[in-house]
A = this chain, B = another copy of it.
Protein backbone atom coordinates (compact mmCIF):
# COMPACT_ATOMS: atom_id res chain seq x y z
CA UNK A 1 0.00 0.00 0.00
CA UNK A 2 1.52 3.39 -0.94
CA UNK A 3 1.93 6.26 1.48
CA UNK A 4 -1.23 8.26 0.67
CA UNK A 5 -3.36 5.10 0.83
CA UNK A 6 -2.03 4.38 4.30
CA UNK A 7 -2.80 7.97 5.26
CA UNK A 8 -6.38 7.62 3.96
CA UNK A 9 -6.90 4.37 5.90
CA UNK A 10 -5.70 6.09 9.05
CA UNK A 11 -8.21 8.88 8.47
CA UNK A 12 -11.06 6.40 8.03
CA UNK A 13 -10.15 4.62 11.25
CA UNK A 14 -9.97 7.80 13.33
CA UNK A 15 -13.07 9.72 12.27
CA UNK A 16 -14.82 9.49 15.61
CA UNK A 17 -11.74 10.49 17.62
CA UNK A 18 -11.09 13.48 15.34
CA UNK A 19 -14.63 14.74 15.96
CA UNK A 20 -14.19 14.34 19.70
CA UNK A 21 -10.97 16.32 19.60
CA UNK A 22 -12.55 19.06 17.55
CA UNK A 23 -15.31 19.30 20.15
CA UNK A 24 -12.66 19.72 22.84
CA UNK A 25 -11.06 22.52 20.77
CA UNK A 26 -14.46 24.19 20.38
CA UNK A 27 -15.18 24.19 24.11
CA UNK A 28 -12.67 26.98 24.74
CA UNK A 29 -14.49 30.34 24.56
CA UNK A 30 -11.47 31.95 22.92
CA UNK A 31 -13.19 35.24 22.11
CA UNK A 32 -10.36 37.57 21.18
CA UNK A 33 -12.51 40.71 21.27
CA UNK A 34 -13.16 40.37 24.99
CA UNK A 35 -10.27 40.55 27.48
CA UNK A 36 -12.48 38.77 30.06
CA UNK A 37 -11.69 35.56 28.15
CA UNK A 38 -7.95 35.97 28.61
CA UNK A 39 -7.50 32.67 30.45
CA UNK A 40 -9.67 30.76 27.95
CA UNK A 41 -7.69 32.16 25.04
CA UNK A 42 -4.38 31.19 26.62
CA UNK A 43 -5.69 27.72 27.57
CA UNK A 44 -6.93 27.22 24.02
CA UNK A 45 -3.54 28.12 22.57
CA UNK A 46 -1.83 25.76 25.02
CA UNK A 47 -4.26 22.93 24.17
CA UNK A 48 -3.51 23.36 20.47
CA UNK A 49 0.25 23.45 21.07
CA UNK A 50 -0.03 20.16 22.96
CA UNK A 51 -1.83 18.54 20.00
CA UNK A 52 1.09 19.47 17.71
CA UNK A 53 3.63 18.09 20.16
CA UNK A 54 1.59 14.88 20.44
CA UNK A 55 1.92 14.19 16.73
CA UNK A 56 5.65 14.87 16.69
CA UNK A 57 5.96 18.49 15.62
CA UNK A 58 8.08 21.10 17.38
CA UNK A 59 5.54 23.56 18.72
CA UNK A 60 5.61 26.72 20.79
CA UNK A 61 3.45 29.59 21.87
CA UNK A 62 4.91 32.88 20.68
CA UNK A 63 3.85 36.16 22.22
CA UNK A 64 2.69 39.10 20.14
CA UNK A 65 1.69 42.56 21.31
CA UNK A 66 -1.77 41.02 21.70
CA UNK A 67 -2.90 37.41 21.95
CA UNK A 68 -0.18 34.82 21.29
CA UNK A 69 0.27 32.70 18.16
CA UNK A 70 0.78 28.94 18.10
CA UNK A 71 3.63 27.97 15.80
CA UNK A 72 4.51 24.37 14.97
CA UNK A 73 6.80 22.82 12.41
CA UNK A 74 8.33 19.64 11.06
CA UNK A 75 12.11 19.41 10.97
CA UNK A 76 13.27 21.21 7.82
CA UNK A 77 14.34 18.67 5.20
CA UNK A 78 16.20 20.20 2.26
CA UNK A 79 14.82 19.45 -1.15
CA UNK A 80 11.22 19.33 -0.02
CA UNK A 81 8.86 22.20 -0.73
CA UNK A 82 7.74 24.16 2.30
CA UNK A 83 4.06 24.69 3.06
CA UNK A 84 2.79 27.26 5.57
CA UNK A 85 -0.64 26.59 7.04
CA UNK A 86 -2.19 29.80 8.36
CA UNK A 87 -5.35 29.88 10.47
CA UNK A 88 -6.70 31.26 13.72
CA UNK A 89 -7.87 29.77 17.00
CA UNK A 90 -9.79 32.83 18.19
CA UNK A 91 -13.53 33.18 17.63
CA UNK A 92 -16.17 35.89 17.28
CA UNK A 93 -18.32 36.99 20.22
CA UNK A 94 -21.54 35.00 20.56
CA UNK A 95 -24.24 37.61 21.10
CA UNK A 96 -27.17 37.64 20.54
CA UNK A 97 -26.98 34.57 22.77
CA UNK A 98 -30.76 34.06 22.84
CA UNK A 99 -30.79 33.26 19.13
CA UNK A 100 -28.59 30.16 19.63
CA UNK A 101 -30.45 26.85 19.75
CA UNK A 102 -27.78 25.39 22.06
CA UNK A 103 -24.93 26.94 24.07
CA UNK A 104 -22.21 28.15 21.66
CA UNK A 105 -19.37 26.54 23.59
CA UNK A 106 -21.05 23.17 24.14
CA UNK A 107 -20.60 21.58 20.71
CA UNK A 108 -23.69 19.69 19.56
CA UNK A 109 -23.72 17.07 16.77
CA UNK A 110 -27.05 16.58 15.04
CA UNK A 111 -27.81 14.97 11.68
CA UNK A 112 -24.16 15.03 10.70
CA UNK A 113 -23.74 18.71 11.51
CA UNK A 114 -21.65 20.16 14.32
CA UNK A 115 -22.98 23.35 15.96
CA UNK A 116 -20.65 25.60 17.97
CA UNK A 117 -18.97 28.99 17.80
CA UNK A 118 -15.81 28.46 15.77
CA UNK A 119 -17.07 25.20 14.20
CA UNK A 120 -16.20 26.48 10.75
CA UNK A 121 -14.52 29.85 11.51
CA UNK A 122 -11.86 28.78 12.01
CA UNK A 123 -11.20 26.00 14.52
CA UNK A 124 -12.94 23.29 12.49
CA UNK A 125 -11.12 24.24 9.32
CA UNK A 126 -7.76 24.69 11.05
CA UNK A 127 -8.11 21.29 12.68
CA UNK A 128 -8.42 19.53 9.29
CA UNK A 129 -4.78 20.45 8.65
CA UNK A 130 -3.69 19.35 12.12
CA UNK A 131 -5.30 15.93 11.66
CA UNK A 132 -3.92 15.54 8.12
CA UNK A 133 -0.44 16.16 9.55
CA UNK A 134 -1.13 13.58 12.26
CA UNK A 135 -2.20 11.00 9.66
CA UNK A 136 1.04 11.45 7.70
CA UNK A 137 3.16 11.27 10.85
CA UNK A 138 1.42 8.24 12.32
CA UNK A 139 0.67 6.25 9.16
CA UNK A 140 3.84 7.06 7.22
CA UNK A 141 6.24 8.52 9.79
CA UNK A 142 6.85 11.75 7.89
CA UNK A 143 5.16 14.41 5.82
CA UNK A 144 6.25 14.79 2.17
CA UNK A 145 6.64 18.56 2.60
CA UNK A 146 8.22 20.81 5.18
CA UNK A 147 5.18 21.92 7.12
CA UNK A 148 4.84 25.05 9.24
CA UNK A 149 1.70 25.98 11.17
CA UNK A 150 1.01 29.59 12.11
CA UNK A 151 -2.26 29.69 14.04
CA UNK A 152 -2.89 33.15 15.39
CA UNK A 153 -5.30 34.39 18.06
CA UNK A 154 -6.29 37.79 16.71
CA UNK A 155 -7.92 37.27 13.33
CA UNK A 156 -11.38 38.17 14.58
CA UNK A 157 -10.13 41.52 15.83
CA UNK A 158 -8.41 42.35 12.54
CA UNK A 159 -4.97 40.70 13.03
CA UNK A 160 -3.44 43.92 14.37
CA UNK A 161 -0.05 42.34 15.11
CA UNK A 162 0.22 39.64 12.48
CA UNK A 163 2.20 41.34 9.75
CA UNK A 164 4.81 42.68 12.15
CA UNK A 165 4.99 39.25 13.80
CA UNK A 166 5.72 37.59 10.46
CA UNK A 167 8.09 40.29 9.23
CA UNK A 168 10.18 39.90 12.37
CA UNK A 169 10.54 36.16 11.67
CA UNK A 170 10.54 36.36 7.91
CA UNK A 171 13.04 33.57 7.34
CA UNK A 172 11.16 31.21 9.62
CA UNK A 173 7.87 31.66 7.76
CA UNK A 174 9.14 31.72 4.21
CA UNK A 175 7.43 28.97 2.24
CA UNK A 176 6.65 27.89 -1.29
CA UNK A 177 2.93 28.03 -0.65
CA UNK A 178 0.47 29.13 1.99
CA UNK A 179 -2.60 27.03 2.74
CA UNK A 180 -5.58 28.81 4.27
CA UNK A 181 -8.93 27.22 5.05
CA UNK A 182 -11.11 30.12 6.16
CA UNK A 183 -13.51 30.38 3.22
CA UNK A 184 -16.28 28.12 1.85
CA UNK A 185 -17.12 25.69 -0.89
CA UNK A 186 -19.22 27.02 -3.74
CA UNK A 187 -22.17 25.12 -2.33
CA UNK A 188 -23.01 21.75 -0.78
CA UNK A 189 -20.84 19.01 -2.33
CA UNK A 190 -19.36 21.57 -4.66
CA UNK A 191 -15.76 22.30 -3.74
CA UNK A 192 -14.12 25.36 -5.20
CA UNK A 193 -10.69 26.87 -5.44
CA UNK A 194 -10.72 30.61 -4.94
CA UNK A 195 -8.05 32.51 -6.85
CA UNK A 196 -9.01 36.14 -6.22
CA UNK A 197 -10.36 38.30 -3.43
CA UNK A 198 -11.60 41.85 -3.47
CA UNK A 199 -9.74 44.44 -1.42
CA UNK A 200 -11.36 46.67 1.17
CA UNK A 201 -11.19 50.32 2.14
CA UNK A 202 -13.33 51.01 5.20
CA UNK A 203 -13.91 54.61 6.23
CA UNK A 204 -16.06 56.48 8.72
CA UNK A 205 -16.86 60.16 8.80
CA UNK A 206 -18.46 62.14 11.59
CA UNK A 207 -20.01 65.54 10.99
CA UNK A 208 -20.45 68.01 13.86
CA UNK A 209 -22.60 71.12 13.68
CA UNK A 210 -23.50 72.94 16.88
CA UNK A 211 -21.79 71.72 20.03
CA UNK A 212 -24.98 70.27 21.53
CA UNK A 213 -28.25 68.72 20.46
CA UNK A 214 -30.81 71.45 19.84
CA UNK A 215 -34.61 71.72 19.92
CA UNK A 216 -35.81 71.74 16.32
CA UNK A 217 -38.59 74.17 17.16
CA UNK A 218 -36.30 76.73 18.71
CA UNK A 219 -33.40 76.32 16.29
CA UNK A 220 -34.92 74.88 13.11
CA UNK A 221 -34.06 77.28 10.29
CA UNK A 222 -30.97 78.90 11.76
CA UNK A 223 -28.43 76.12 12.42
CA UNK A 224 -26.88 73.38 10.24
CA UNK A 225 -28.21 69.84 10.56
CA UNK A 226 -25.34 67.29 10.50
CA UNK A 227 -27.75 64.42 9.72
CA UNK A 228 -28.82 66.25 6.56
CA UNK A 229 -25.16 66.86 5.69
CA UNK A 230 -24.32 63.17 6.15
CA UNK A 231 -27.25 62.16 3.94
CA UNK A 232 -26.21 64.67 1.28
CA UNK A 233 -22.65 63.34 1.27
CA UNK A 234 -23.77 59.71 1.11
CA UNK A 235 -26.17 60.50 -1.72
CA UNK A 236 -23.37 62.30 -3.59
CA UNK A 237 -21.22 59.15 -3.54
CA UNK A 238 -23.42 57.50 -6.15
CA UNK A 239 -24.73 58.62 -9.52
CA UNK A 240 -28.39 58.12 -10.43
CA UNK A 241 -27.48 54.86 -12.22
CA UNK A 242 -25.90 53.52 -9.01
CA UNK A 243 -22.30 53.84 -10.18
CA UNK A 244 -19.79 55.38 -7.79
CA UNK A 245 -19.39 59.12 -8.26
CA UNK A 246 -16.03 59.58 -6.53
CA UNK A 247 -13.73 61.22 -9.08
CA UNK A 248 -11.13 58.71 -10.24
CA UNK A 249 -12.62 55.75 -8.37
CA UNK A 250 -12.68 53.48 -11.40
CA UNK A 251 -9.24 54.51 -12.70
CA UNK A 252 -7.10 51.46 -13.31
CA UNK A 253 -9.85 48.92 -12.65
CA UNK A 254 -8.87 45.69 -14.41
CA UNK A 255 -11.88 43.97 -15.89
CA UNK A 256 -12.39 40.25 -15.51
CA UNK A 257 -10.89 38.42 -18.46
CA UNK A 258 -13.00 36.78 -21.14
CA UNK A 259 -12.13 33.26 -20.01
CA UNK A 260 -13.13 34.10 -16.45
CA UNK A 261 -16.53 35.43 -17.45
CA UNK A 262 -17.13 32.35 -19.58
CA UNK A 263 -16.17 30.10 -16.65
CA UNK A 264 -18.38 31.98 -14.18
CA UNK A 265 -21.40 31.57 -16.39
CA UNK A 266 -20.98 27.80 -16.32
CA UNK A 267 -21.19 27.64 -12.51
CA UNK A 268 -24.29 26.11 -10.94
CA UNK A 269 -25.83 29.39 -9.82
CA UNK A 270 -29.35 29.82 -8.55
CA UNK A 271 -29.77 33.57 -8.52
CA UNK A 272 -33.56 33.45 -8.54
CA UNK A 273 -33.48 31.15 -5.52
CA UNK A 274 -30.97 33.40 -3.75
CA UNK A 275 -33.11 36.50 -4.38
CA UNK A 276 -36.14 34.63 -3.06
CA UNK A 277 -34.23 33.59 0.05
CA UNK A 278 -33.23 37.23 0.65
CA UNK A 279 -36.80 38.46 0.15
CA UNK A 280 -35.87 40.43 -2.97
CA UNK A 281 -37.68 40.48 -6.34
CA UNK A 282 -34.30 39.90 -8.05
CA UNK A 283 -30.62 40.57 -7.59
CA UNK A 284 -29.64 44.09 -8.56
CA UNK A 285 -26.55 46.18 -9.26
CA UNK A 286 -24.73 47.03 -12.48
CA UNK A 287 -27.02 45.36 -14.99
CA UNK A 288 -24.51 45.65 -17.83
CA UNK A 289 -22.34 43.07 -16.06
CA UNK A 290 -23.27 39.42 -15.35
CA UNK A 291 -24.14 38.80 -11.69
CA UNK A 292 -20.92 36.85 -10.87
CA UNK A 293 -18.87 39.73 -12.25
CA UNK A 294 -20.80 42.23 -10.10
CA UNK A 295 -20.24 40.00 -7.08
CA UNK A 296 -16.56 39.18 -7.59
CA UNK A 297 -14.89 41.46 -10.13
CA UNK A 298 -16.47 44.89 -9.80
CA UNK A 299 -15.65 47.45 -7.15
CA UNK A 300 -18.50 48.49 -4.86
CA UNK A 301 -19.37 51.11 -2.28
CA UNK A 302 -21.73 50.32 0.59
CA UNK A 303 -23.00 52.28 3.57
CA UNK A 304 -22.43 49.92 6.50
CA UNK A 305 -23.73 52.25 9.17
CA UNK A 306 -25.69 55.48 9.40
CA UNK A 307 -26.30 57.31 12.66
CA UNK A 308 -27.32 60.65 14.12
CA UNK A 309 -29.97 62.12 16.40
CA UNK A 310 -32.75 60.12 17.99
CA UNK A 311 -33.18 56.53 16.81
CA UNK A 312 -35.41 55.24 19.62
CA UNK A 313 -39.13 54.70 19.60
CA UNK A 314 -41.43 57.61 18.92
CA UNK A 315 -40.67 61.20 18.08
CA UNK A 316 -38.01 63.49 19.49
CA UNK A 317 -37.62 66.93 17.96
CA UNK A 318 -33.86 67.18 18.09
CA UNK A 319 -31.36 68.71 15.71
CA UNK A 320 -28.40 66.43 16.33
CA UNK A 321 -25.04 67.89 17.17
CA UNK A 322 -23.36 64.99 15.37
CA UNK A 323 -24.14 62.44 12.71
CA UNK A 324 -21.96 60.03 10.81
CA UNK A 325 -21.63 57.13 8.46
CA UNK A 326 -19.46 54.07 7.98
CA UNK A 327 -18.73 53.33 4.35
CA UNK A 328 -16.77 50.47 2.84
CA UNK A 329 -15.52 50.00 -0.67
CA UNK A 330 -14.64 46.62 -2.13
CA UNK A 331 -11.68 46.98 -4.46
CA UNK A 332 -10.57 44.98 -7.46
CA UNK A 333 -7.19 44.45 -9.15
CA UNK A 334 -5.80 47.67 -10.52
CA UNK A 335 -7.14 49.86 -7.72
CA UNK A 336 -4.70 51.25 -5.18
CA UNK A 337 -6.28 50.97 -1.73
CA UNK A 338 -4.53 54.03 -0.27
CA UNK A 339 -5.41 56.15 -3.26
CA UNK A 340 -9.06 55.12 -2.94
CA UNK A 341 -9.04 56.14 0.71
CA UNK A 342 -7.58 59.52 -0.28
CA UNK A 343 -10.15 60.02 -3.06
CA UNK A 344 -12.98 59.14 -0.70
CA UNK A 345 -11.70 61.55 1.91
CA UNK A 346 -11.35 64.38 -0.62
CA UNK A 347 -14.87 63.75 -1.94
CA UNK A 348 -16.40 63.76 1.54
CA UNK A 349 -14.51 66.87 2.68
CA UNK A 350 -15.71 68.73 -0.40
CA UNK A 351 -19.31 68.05 0.62
CA UNK A 352 -19.10 69.52 4.12
CA UNK A 353 -20.50 73.05 4.50
CA UNK A 354 -18.26 75.61 6.13
CA UNK A 355 -20.28 75.71 9.36
CA UNK A 356 -19.78 72.01 10.10
CA UNK A 357 -16.68 70.20 11.22
CA UNK A 358 -15.67 66.76 10.02
CA UNK A 359 -13.60 63.91 11.38
CA UNK A 360 -12.55 61.06 9.09
CA UNK A 361 -11.48 57.67 10.44
CA UNK A 362 -9.65 55.13 8.29
CA UNK A 363 -10.06 51.48 9.22
CA UNK A 364 -9.00 48.53 7.08
CA UNK A 365 -7.32 49.37 3.83
CA UNK A 366 -6.14 46.40 1.80
CA UNK A 367 -5.81 45.77 -1.92
CA UNK A 368 -7.47 43.07 -4.01
CA UNK A 369 -5.48 39.91 -4.60
CA UNK A 370 -5.24 37.60 -7.58
CA UNK A 371 -3.30 34.37 -7.22
CA UNK A 372 -1.96 33.03 -10.52
CA UNK A 373 -4.02 29.90 -11.21
CA UNK A 374 -1.11 28.22 -13.00
CA UNK A 375 1.08 28.30 -9.87
CA UNK A 376 2.08 24.75 -8.88
CA UNK A 377 0.49 25.24 -5.47
CA UNK A 378 -2.81 26.18 -7.10
CA UNK A 379 -2.62 23.12 -9.34
CA UNK A 380 -1.95 20.99 -6.27
CA UNK A 381 -4.87 22.60 -4.49
CA UNK A 382 -7.16 21.79 -7.35
CA UNK A 383 -6.09 18.16 -7.48
CA UNK A 384 -6.24 17.80 -3.69
CA UNK A 385 -9.84 19.05 -3.64
CA UNK A 386 -10.70 16.66 -6.48
CA UNK A 387 -9.31 13.76 -4.43
CA UNK A 388 -10.65 14.86 -1.06
CA UNK A 389 -14.19 15.64 -2.25
CA UNK A 390 -14.33 13.20 -5.16
CA UNK A 391 -15.43 16.06 -7.37
CA UNK A 392 -13.68 18.56 -9.63
CA UNK A 393 -13.48 21.92 -7.82
CA UNK A 394 -14.79 25.04 -9.48
CA UNK A 395 -12.47 27.96 -10.04
CA UNK A 396 -13.99 30.98 -8.38
CA UNK A 397 -13.28 34.44 -7.03
CA UNK A 398 -14.56 35.77 -3.72
CA UNK A 399 -16.20 39.14 -3.22
CA UNK A 400 -14.97 39.38 0.36
CA UNK A 401 -11.53 40.36 1.59
CA UNK A 402 -8.85 38.59 3.65
CA UNK A 403 -6.14 41.18 4.24
CA UNK A 404 -3.50 38.63 5.26
CA UNK A 405 -3.79 37.03 1.81
CA UNK A 406 -2.72 40.26 0.12
CA UNK A 407 0.15 40.44 2.60
CA UNK A 408 1.33 36.90 1.82
CA UNK A 409 0.96 37.35 -1.94
CA UNK A 410 2.15 40.92 -2.42
CA UNK A 411 4.65 41.39 0.40
CA UNK A 412 5.88 37.88 1.15
CA UNK A 413 5.57 36.82 -2.51
CA UNK A 414 4.06 33.46 -1.56
CA UNK A 415 1.08 32.01 -3.44
CA UNK A 416 -1.92 31.39 -1.21
CA UNK A 417 -4.16 28.39 -1.76
CA UNK A 418 -7.62 29.01 -0.33
CA UNK A 419 -9.13 25.63 0.44
CA UNK A 420 -12.58 26.42 1.78
CA UNK A 421 -14.29 23.46 3.42
CA UNK A 422 -17.27 25.30 4.95
CA UNK A 423 -20.56 26.22 3.32
CA UNK A 424 -21.83 29.71 2.49
CA UNK A 425 -24.64 29.29 5.04
CA UNK A 426 -22.48 28.12 7.97
CA UNK A 427 -23.46 31.22 10.01
CA UNK A 428 -19.99 32.63 10.41
CA UNK A 429 -20.06 35.45 12.99
CA UNK A 430 -23.75 34.64 13.61
CA UNK A 431 -25.77 32.49 16.00
CA UNK A 432 -25.81 28.71 15.40
CA UNK A 433 -22.49 28.58 13.58
CA UNK A 434 -22.08 25.12 12.11
CA UNK A 435 -19.79 22.80 10.17
CA UNK A 436 -20.89 19.73 8.27
CA UNK A 437 -18.93 16.75 9.68
CA UNK A 438 -18.62 15.14 6.24
CA UNK A 439 -16.88 18.33 5.11
CA UNK A 440 -14.61 18.21 8.14
CA UNK A 441 -13.42 14.74 7.09
CA UNK A 442 -13.21 15.64 3.40
CA UNK A 443 -11.20 18.66 4.46
CA UNK A 444 -8.73 16.48 6.35
CA UNK A 445 -8.39 14.23 3.31
CA UNK A 446 -7.90 17.23 1.04
CA UNK A 447 -5.13 18.57 3.24
CA UNK A 448 -3.45 15.18 3.33
CA UNK A 449 -3.67 14.91 -0.45
CA UNK A 450 -2.33 18.42 -0.91
CA UNK A 451 1.02 17.53 0.66
CA UNK A 452 1.22 14.43 -1.49
CA UNK A 453 0.31 16.13 -4.75
CA UNK A 454 2.33 19.28 -4.13
CA UNK A 455 5.45 17.28 -3.24
CA UNK A 456 5.02 15.33 -6.47
CA UNK A 457 4.45 18.40 -8.65
CA UNK A 458 7.41 20.23 -7.13
CA UNK A 459 9.79 17.31 -7.48
CA UNK A 460 9.08 16.96 -11.18
User: What residues of chain A have their CB less than 8 Å away from a CB belonging to chain B?
Assistant: 158, 198, 200, 202, 204, 209-212, 214-225, 227-228, 230-232, 234-236, 238, 278-286, 291, 294-295, 298, 300, 302-311, 314-320, 323, 325-326, 328, 330, 353-355, 363-364, 398-401, 424
Flag if A315 contacts B306 (CB, 8 Å). no
Across the interface, which residues of B come within 8 angstroms of A222, CB to CB? 283-285, 291, 294-295
Closest 4 CB pairs of A and B: A217-B400, A211-B279, A235-B235, A231-B234
Closest CB-CB distance, A329 to chain B, in whole Å? 9
Complex partner residue of A326 from B217, B224, B283, B309, CB under 8 angstroms: B309
How far apart are the CA atoms of A399 and B223 in the complex, in Å?
A: 13
Closest CB-CB distance, A167 to chain B, in whole Å? 23
Across the interface, which residues of B come within 8 angstroms of A315, CB to CB? 158, 202, 204, 304, 326, 328, 363-364
Q: How many copies does the complex hold?
A: 2
Known: A210-B280, A214-B278, A278-B223. A303 touches B294 (CB 8 A): no
A-B contact pairs, 21 of them (CB 8 A): A210-B278, A217-B330, A218-B295, A218-B399, A218-B400, A218-B424, A220-B295, A223-B283, A227-B303, A228-B238, A282-B355, A284-B353, A303-B320, A303-B323, A304-B316, A309-B326, A310-B326, A314-B363, A315-B328, A315-B364, A317-B328
Q: Which residue of B lies closest to A184 (CB)?
A: B218
Q: Which residue of B lies closest to A240 (CB)?
A: B232
Flag if B280 contacts A224 (CB, 8 Å). yes
Known: A211-B278, A280-B210, A399-B220. A309 touches B318 (CB 8 A): no
Most buried by B among A230, A291, A306, A400: A306
Flag if A284 contacts B355 (CB, 8 Å). yes
How far apart are the CA atoms of A214 and B304 in the complex, in Å?
A: 10
Closest CB-CB distance, A34 to chain B, in whole Å? 13
Flag if B221 contacts A294 (CB, 8 Å). yes
Across the interface, which residues of B come within 8 angstroms of A204, CB to CB? 315
Flag if A235 contacts B231 (CB, 8 Å). yes
Q: Which residue of B lies closest to A286 (CB)?
A: B221
Flag if B310 contacts A305 (CB, 8 Å). yes
